[in-house]
Amino acid sequence: MSASQTESQRMHHIHQIVPSVKVYYKLNQLLISMPTKDNQQDLIIVAVEYSNQKRYFLSLTFDELSKLLYYLEPCQRTLYEVLCQKKSNKLYFDFGVYIKNSFNLDVQESLLILQNLFHNVIANCVNQDSNNSTSFTDHFLVLSASTELKHSYHLIYTNTSVRFESQETISHFIMVILQHYAHFIVTPSCQQQFPPLVNINHQNDYLVYLQTTLSQTNFCNCAIPKTNITCSNFEKLFYKNQDGSHQWVFDLHVYSKNQQFRLYKSTKFGINNTLLPTSDFNFKRNYSHDETINYNNIYHNYILNHSLISYSSNYKDIIIIPYNQNLWSISNENKNYMIDLSSTDHFNSLILPNTCNYI
């Protein structure tokens, strides 16, 4: 079957389910045609892969996307959410480790530590109790597309009151946290007397610096300040490649403008690895039971709603965490200023001034 036939066939399936949807073959054309800013959060931008490295683009309502994912055959669900720079986003992680590199790594433990670490920080920043009866795992939806070759997970922070201004904000937020923890760990006797600061111009170089430094560190069981994470816990967030280099268990290069992130129930083109909830992390269901209701459809919409990173029209009083020139603050959904995070004891302690140029 030729590529054009495959494309035509896929278009036929999509128009059978959502006949009125308009298709664009260039993302910029779709973005230009988008409604006014006030209505953007109600639409989800989707990329559909119809052959290797070839995609077309749609803008869909939640109901249209739900129908598409529900009725398309598994091999036809090659759908990605396009994360536009103008939209606020949930915190998300792309966790990936090849099986051949994971023999000394407890993947489930690493996933738990990653969730615990970032929930703890965010809860402190927005003055939410991180030690209440609700487990930190209830704040993360964990989807798996693992194969016999690779451990592959998407983690989405589903706390309905927290959004980040952009992917760039998420990237900087993560780097601030990693930087703080790493500097605490490599300090002798775990005292807050930091080693010599480095002047690094590029994020990739700084990641290499952190990984190299941590790989030469003897980890102890000291608790990192203001967290219940120990230094030895933090060690579980990176692993050793076969060539001897060290790598974070999550990809820090998935926060670029117009990033395309695979959707729930979707698969990669030509690969049978559907992205689905994992039984290792049962996401909390908060709807009541009624035998007259189609729970397959409710569960489908419930997971889809939480899995979408840039969709937030159903949420009220959203807290946005914006970043600008190393100034962090909390704003409401109308971008009205609320709190200067750098003035709070918790977040201010995470920022190490002049450690590197890009932060």
Reported as a single tens digit per residue, the pLDDT across 203-246 is 556 666 666 666 766 777 777 777 778 888 888 898 888 887 77
Provide the 8-state DSSP code for 230: B
Provide the 8-state DSSP code for 355: S
Q: Cα–Cα distances in Å, from 299 out to 65, 280, 296?
A: 15, 17, 5
What integer is the mean pLDDT of 119-140? 72
Domain extents for the chain? Answer: 3-87+255-272, 92-253+317-348
Q: Cα–Cα distances in Å, from 134 out to 130, 187, 208, 217?
A: 8, 33, 36, 34
- Which residues are CB-contacts of 140 (< 8 A; sequence separation ≥ 6)? 115, 119, 155, 156, 157, 158, 281
Return the pLDDT at 10.
56
Nearest to 191 by CA among 214, 220, 167, 213: 220
Whether 331 has a pLDDT exceeding 90, the answer reads no
Q: Cα–Cα distances in Å, from 51 out to 55, 97, 294?
A: 7, 25, 34
Whether 132 has a pLDDT exceeding 60, the answer reads no
pTM of the model: 0.85
List pLDDT tens digits, range 163-200: 998 898 999 889 888 877 777 776 655 544 444 545 55
List pLDDT tens digits, range 14-44: 889 999 899 999 999 998 888 665 545 588 9
Whether 255 has a pLDDT exceeding 50, the answer reads yes
| Cα–Cα distance for residue pair 122/157, rounded to 1 Å | 10
What integer is the mean pLDDT of 250-270? 91
| Cα–Cα distance for residue pair 353/359, rounded to 1 Å | 9
Return the pLDDT at 123.
84
Q: Which of 167-181, 234-248, 300-314, 334-348 has the lowest mean pLDDT?
A: 334-348
Return the pLDDT at 42.
80
Return the pLDDT at 291.
44
